[in-house]
Each structure stands twice: as structure tokens, then as C-alpha cells.
Amino acid sequence: MFNLLLKRLRLTPPKILSLGFIILIAIGTVLLALPISSQEGHMSWIDALFMATSATCVTGLAVVDTGTGLSTFGQLVLLVLFQLGGLGFVTMATLITLVLNRKISLKERLLLQESMNQNSMQGIVRLIRRVLIYSVVIQLSGALVLALRFLKDMSAGKAVYYGIFHSISIFNNAGFDLFGDVHGPFSGLTRYAEDPVVNITAMLLIFLGGIGFIVLSDLVDFTKRRRLTLHSKVVLTTSAFLIGAGALFFFWLEVYHSLKPLHTGGKIMASFLQALTPRSGGVTTLDIQALRESSQFLIIVLMFIGAAPGSTGGGIKVTTFALLLAAVYSRIRGREDVVLFRNRLSKDNVYRAITMTLLSLLLVVAATMLLSITEQADFLAVLFEAVSAFGTSGLTMGLTPELTEAGKILIVILMFVGRTGPLTLAYAIRPKKDKQLYRHPEGQIMIG
């Protein structure tokens, strides 16, 4: 199917990926704009576009409360969108191809390589099979645990539905929840701040969805191979550092503030969840608006870093962050090579990390400046919203439901770029590469 598109339209993998997300968003917008999707029987086109983009880009920002504003049909539309958006439409198309017993062509393998952020095509179809299996097993397990817990609060049918919806939402780092129908609009998981089952299940789902399918596959093979790849080592080590340090700082900042009403166990669980959820989880057991400004800024930093490549999360990615730290360390020590776990990294990787970070930073700065013009809100709330949209985190300081139409369009663009990736989008829209036949003379400028 993709082979035909590539031949007739001469579409490159980055263009196919970007176009695929646009098509999903367009279909979702039309479906959500239907009267059957809304509790009130109507949703404006701009709100439908916002919700469809947020679901497809697995963000979780919502201008309409999912539990009270959408009908069951509208909620199911969102569920399908963030399932497709989380796993990737390319992965789902490959599933159909495998079910039909069709051979995966070379160009389709190139597209899969691009969608999974892989450096080679070797074993890519095997990886896709594993992605689908892992996703189904993890999401069903999460749904079962959550459904059994929710049986204490609601009917059996509703508990099963809530378990399935929230397991898929949290694993795909979508951040949508239905508890507005139970605890009030935009209430999130605040009533479960001290519930160990909900907290631990949510944290495991966010973590497994955020480390990436490549790392999951590597961990499954660890019993046979007795070693991890460099990528997995960097992802797991950096993730553990960010989670541990983030939880520790959050606990220190909020122990006598927002965490004060909770018991000791609740304080610890809430601290770890708030350290994990900015990686794109989007669910929270605390009121973000009630946190200290220092805690809100800590969450902004964690959202900007995001999850791992090849995962359902956004941000600049933990590997990019680790590579930048390693490059700074090497420069300070006067070393030419950038080394991680006794492996020298290519200059191309370093340049890519720098480019990705600068593009992302410039995008967030520009969007924040524009939002500060269009929205009547504190600067920190505007910055928080912009980084949350770019990092597809879905957390908000309450600005999302109050956005103007211009603000909604800006956030839609941020969510789309954050999900597809600034570099992927840049490669998709750049002109055809011409061979450079000359080099400019070398010059010197002062640095520092």
C-alpha cells in the first residue's frame, strides 16, 4: 500500500509519516464534529481539530472534558486515535500487511525504519511483530488490574470500560481520562493520590510506554543474550536518573505544601508519579496549579526532555539529553571523542542531538512568545502549556480550556510537530538535496 504511494507521489518516509498523521487528524476531526460525538450534540470544528490532534499526537490536552463533554462514541473515537497515534499508523498498516500474508517491500521497510527511529532495516519486521505483541499484553494486563480496582467504585460494565480506556491511554502516554464523569470535570486521578494499585499501575504503564519498544525487546532478550545494547543502557540509565532525581526534588519542594495532606506512602507515590508523568504520561494525582512555581518549572524541564526514541512519548528524548551531557563533559575534560559506556559516538549523532535540541528550543520559545500575546495568563502558565504541547505530555496549569482560537491553533501545531519530531518535519519539507561541489574556506570566531 505504501509502495504504491511512494511510486506515484514520490513520497519520502518523513513525508509519508507527516502525511499519515495529518490524515488521521483530519478523519478524527470530522468524526468528533458529528453530533453523536458530543454530549451536547455539537462540537465546534476548532475544538474537534484540537481534540483529534491531541489524541493522534498522544498528548492529552483537552478543551472539552473527556468524561462529561464527549459521548461514548466520541470517547471511542479518541481511544482509536491515541492507539493508532501511539503505536504509529505505519505499525498498524504493517500489521494488516502481515495478516494478509503479504511480503514487506524494501521501501516499506525504509518507512518502518524511519517510524521506529532505527539506524538500519535489519530485523525491523521482527521488531514490529514484537511491538504489537508487547503492546497488547501490557495494555490488557493494565486494563485487568485497573478494572478490578474500579469495581469498588462503579458497576462492573463501567469498571471494565474505564480499565480498558485508561490502560490504553496511559500506556500510549495519551493522558486522557474519564473521571470527569465521576469526580467532576478535569479532575483527573486526584481522588486516587494515595491508592497504591492505581498509582503503581499508572507508573508501570507510563514507564513501559516511555522507554520505547526497542528497549522492551532488548529486555525480553536479556535472559538469552545476557547483555544490553548501548541504546538500552543509555535509555534505562538516563530514565532512572531522571525519575529518581525528579521524585527526590519534587518531594523536597512539595513535602510541606501540596504533599502535606497525604500520608507518607502517598507522598512517595505522588512524588514518583509526578516525576514520571511529565515524560508524556499526562495523568496526575495532584493539582498542577496548586504546586509551587519551582515544582512547576521542574515539570517543564522534565516535559522538554521527554521519553525515549521509538516510544509513545515526546520531547527531545532522553538519549538526546544524555548525549548532550556527554558532549559537554568531554569538552570540559578536553577530550575529542564523546563516550558513553565505553563506546565512542559519531560526530553525526552529536550534531543531530544539538540540531534537535536547538530546533525544539526555538520552537518552544517562539510559541511561548505568541501565546503570551494571544492569551491572558501568567508567563509560567503559558510556558508550561507550550512545553506540554511540544513534549506531548498533556499536563496543564488550567490554561487549555481557556485558550482562544488563535491559541488553540498554536497548540495544535506544537502537538503535531512534537509528535512527528522537528527533524522529521524538517526533512519532510526541505527541498531536494543537491550535491555540494565546493567547500568554503575555514574561518575562526571567538566562542565563550
pLDDT tens profile 147-187: 999 999 889 999 999 999 999 999 988 889 888 877 777 77
Give yes or no for a contact between 280 and 393, defined as CB atoms under 8 angstroms apart: yes
Return d(Cα 143, Cα 145) in angstroms, integer.
6
* CA 128 to the chain's CA centroid: 19
Q: What is the largest CA-CA distance in the chain?
A: 74
pLDDT for res 312:
73
Signed CA dihedral, 50, 52, 53, 57: sign only: positive
Signed CA dihedral, 64, 70, 74, 78: sign only: positive
Q: What cell does 446 get?
A: 571567538
Adjacent-strand bridge partners of 340: 343
Over residues 327-350, mean pLDDT: 86
Name the nearest CA neighbour of 91 among 120, 115, 122, 123. Answer: 115
Over residues 236-264, mean pLDDT: 93
Over residues 213-226, mean pLDDT: 80
Over residues 217-222, mean pLDDT: 81
Q: What DSSP string runs through 210-274?
A: HS-HHHHHHHHTHHHH----HHHHHHHHHHHHHHHHHHHHHHHHHTTTTTTTS-HHHHHHHHHHH
pLDDT in tens, 119-153: 545 555 666 777 778 888 999 999 999 999 999 98
Q: Which residue has the cell 469495581?
A: 151
pLDDT in tens, 72-116: 999 999 999 988 887 765 455 555 444 445 554 555 555 455 444
pLDDT for res 110:
52
pLDDT in tens, 266-290: 999 999 999 999 987 778 888 899 8
| Percent of the chain with pLDDT strictly greater than 90 | 41
For the CA atoms of 400, 403, 405, 406, the dihedral, rounded to the nearest 10 degrees, stands at -100
Element of type H or E holding 302: helix 293-305
pTM for the model stands at 0.86
pLDDT in tens, 359-376: 899 999 999 999 999 998
Reply yes or no on whether the pLDDT at 31 is more than 90: yes
pLDDT for res 222:
79
Residue 157 vs residue 1, higher pLDDT: 157
Reply yes or no on whether the pLDDT at 67 is more than 90: no
pLDDT for res 182:
75
Give yes or no for a contact between 384 and 278, defined as CB atoms under 8 angstroms apart: no
Reply yes or no on whether the pLDDT at 323 is more than 80: yes
Return d(Cα 422, Cα 430) in angstroms, integer.
12
pLDDT for res 411:
94
Cα Rg of the chain, angstroms: 22
Name the nearest CA neighbour of 303 among 316, 290, 319. Answer: 316
Return d(Cα 163, Cα 144) in angstroms, integer.
7
Return d(Cα 145, Cα 170) in angstroms, integer.
13
Rounded alpha-carbon distances, angstroms, from residue 114 to 108, 311, 326: 10, 13, 25
